[in-house]
Amino acid sequence: MSAPNIETIVSLSKRRGFVFPASDIYGGLGSSWDYGPLGVELANNIKRSWWNWAVYERDDIEGLDSSIILNRSVWKYSGHETTFSDPLVDCRDCKARLRQDKLDTDDAGKFICSNCGSTNLTAPRPFNLMFRTTIGAVSADDDPAALAYLRPETAQGIFINFKNVLDTSRRKLPFGIAQIGKAFRNEVTPGNFIFRTREFEQMEIEYFVRPDEVQRLHQEWLDAYLEWIKSLGISAENIKLYEQSADELAHYSERTVDILYRYFPEREQEEKQWDELMGIANRTDYDLRVHSKKPEDAEGKRINPDSTEDLSYFDPQTNERFYPYIIEPSIGVNRTLLAVMMDAYTERTTDKGETRVILKLAPDLAPIKAAVLPLAKNKPEIVEMARRIKKNLQPSMRAVYDDTGGIGKLYARQDEIGTPFCITVDHESLEDNAVTVRHRDTWEQERISVDSLRGYLADRLA
Ligand code: GAP
């Protein structure tokens, strides 16, 4: 089972402290969200899992953390200033502003307003998605000399550091650079909770390859990501591939394959249930060329007179100099978190006919690994023992102590937030120095000695 719709996750998130509406006490700020105590743990665990998998477990990736605000020339030569836009239309009837490429059409091929159903829409015009800001103590907010942008993707910070990383790490092709960081887009129609927001986080790899190896390695990355996504506990039946058509490809891409997740299972039409979790693009040698000082256009003019570097690569084995091709797997932290929560969502009916929510998160991702619960909170020896056990677990895993309800209620609370293990300290524990470990997914219980508890849990959390 997985969540029947995103709304179920929205209410669980608010109720239990995963995600809250941002600026809520001032009426919110259109589609902005804050990550609460459990949400920040889950997001951090996803990012840690990705970094371990991408950077530590492979031998061919280096990490990077580049600036959010870059020299404006980066966005000029990357093509974002001229092409990073969505087709904006206005509904003349309800005044809604909409993205034309996301609208349905009627039988005559006319676009339908998703707000009021009218087809009385303006012609589309490009709306650039980059957030603008100014640098320094400028005299006017629109001073073009001070204009800068918040990055709409982390990728460009990687391209412009290609030579720095190559020279300092002494890498040979193929190799990659990984980065996790915030990106900003002034989306025309943000929405669907954390699926599309104006501020979000990306985990991107730019993988530099010889042009003749690009197809094989593109496929390898696709296969690798499908495996990593499954390792997050996301079931294969909620994942599918989508090959972008020529008119959907970004200006830099020769081929992009998206991995889609079933974010909208409640929709009647099967093909409308899916949307993009991530994309894996073949960006060709576009990026390293456009940021280099040497390449010339057909008339012999430098395409980038502002760059001071040449980002080509010299292959000592073949004595060739060329601009590497780039394979770019790019995935959003927030969309991953949403898919992970939706897929982990399960309901189970108790013997008494009550419905319980169980968030069957992969143990590695669970915000809290173990909850230590005293069976009698009015018995000081039991409370002391439970607190001591929690303290002993704490350095190696996130553990909590909770005595704020009856045991049934405490179990239910931990199930709902995905805690894999509840540890109950009872009267017998004082005699046999053992505790009851309850498993979230099966509700089965085992008696484990306190001395072996840490190792027992660590084995099952790995
Ligand atoms: N560097 C390539 C790039 O940025 P993209 O398809 O525009 O490609 C990559 O974005 C990923 O970033 C998406 O697959 C998605 O997971 C995430 N993403 C993009 N826009 C987003 C938004 N407005 N809100 C949340 N996540 C977003």
Question: For 106-154, how does the pLDDT look when each residue is reduced to its tens digit (9 = 90+)?
Answer: 999 999 999 999 999 999 999 999 999 999 987 677 788 899 999 999 9
Task: Read off the pLDDT of residues 356-376 as tens digits, 9 standing for 90 and up.
Answer: 999 999 999 999 999 999 999
Residue 445 has pLDDT above 80, yes or no: yes
Q: How many CA atoms within 13 Å lie on the side-chain side of 365?
A: 29
Q: What are phi and psi of 75, to 5 degrees?
A: -80, -20
User: Cα separation of 255 and 246, whole Å?
Assistant: 8
Query: Three-class SS of residue 321?
Result: strand
**Does residue 331 have its Cβ closer than 6 Å to ligand 1?**
yes
Residue nearest to atom 4 of ligand 1 (CA): 153
Is 374 close to ligand 1, i.e. is its CB under 6 Å away?
Answer: no
Residue 7: which of 265, 331, 344 has the closest Cα?
Answer: 265
pLDDT (mean) for 14-23: 96
Question: By mean pLDDT, which of 140-144, 218-222, 238-242 is the weakest?
Answer: 140-144
Say which residue the tokens 């009218």 belong to: 118
pLDDT given at position 20:
96
The whole-angstrom separation of Cα 86 and Cα 177 is: 28
CA 252 → CA 249, 255, 290, 325, 355, distances in Å? 8, 9, 10, 11, 50
Among 335, 336, 338, 340, which residue has the most ligand 1 atoms within 8 Å of its CB, making it the best to mutate?
Answer: 335
Give 195 Cα–ligand 1 centroid separation in angstroms: 10
Full DSSP string of 401-418: E--SS-HHHHHHHHHHHT
Report the chain's terminal Cα–Cα distance, integer Å: 24
* Rounded distance between C-alpha atoms, residue 403 and residue 160, angstroms: 53
Q: Measure 260 CA to ligand 1 centroid, in angstroms.
A: 12
Helix, strand or coil for residue 114?
coil
**Does residue 200 line the site of ligand 1, with CB under 6 A?**
yes
How far apart, in whole angstroms, are the C-alpha atoms of residue 441 and residue 458?
17
State the virtual CA torsion across 327, 199, 267, 263 in degrees, nearest 10.
Answer: 50
d(CA 374, CA 400): 12
pLDDT in tens, 447-459: 999 999 999 999 9
Between the CA of 85 and the centroid of ligand 1 the distance, in Å, is: 14
Most confident listed range (335-339, 347-351, 352-356):
335-339
Structure tokens at 368: 């809290």
Question: What is the pLDDT at residue 177?
Answer: 98
Distance 331 CA to ligand 1 centre (A): 7
Q: Token digits for 215? A: 């197809």
What pLDDT sits at residue 31? 87
| Closest atom of ligand 1 to CA, residue 196 | 24
Q: What is the position in ligand 1's atom list of the atom closest to the CA of 197?
A: 24
pLDDT at residue 456 in the model:
96
- Please report where in the chains the tokens 């991107």 appear, as a residue: 204
Give 185 Cα–ligand 1 centroid separation in angstroms: 9
Give the Cα separation of 79 and 61 in Å (integer).
26
> Is 17 a residue whose pLDDT tops 80?
yes
Which tokens is 451 given?
A: 């001395």
pTM of the predicted protein model? 0.96
- 157 ligand 1 Cβ < 6 A: no
pLDDT at 22 over 80: yes
Give every CB contact of residue 210 below 8 A, 6+ residues apart in sequence. Answer: 173, 174, 315, 322, 324, 325
Among 233, 204, 203, 459, smallest CA distance to 346 is for 233
Residue 175, ligand 1, Cβ within 6 A: no
State residue 141's pLDDT score: 73
> Band of the pLDDT at 81, cuts 50, 70, 90?
very high
Average pLDDT across the chain, whole number: 96
By percentage, how much of the chain surpasses pLDDT 90?
Answer: 95
Task: Provide the pLDDT for residue 209.
Answer: 98
Asked if residue 187 has its Cβ within 6 Å of ligand 1, the reply is yes
Q: Which of 392, 390, 356 is nearest to 373 (CA)?
A: 390
Helix 6-16 with 407-417: angle, nearest 10 deg: 130
Q: Measured from the CB, is residue 426 less than 6 Å from ligand 1?
A: no
Q: Which of 295, 146, 278, 288 is closest to 207 using CA atoms?
A: 288
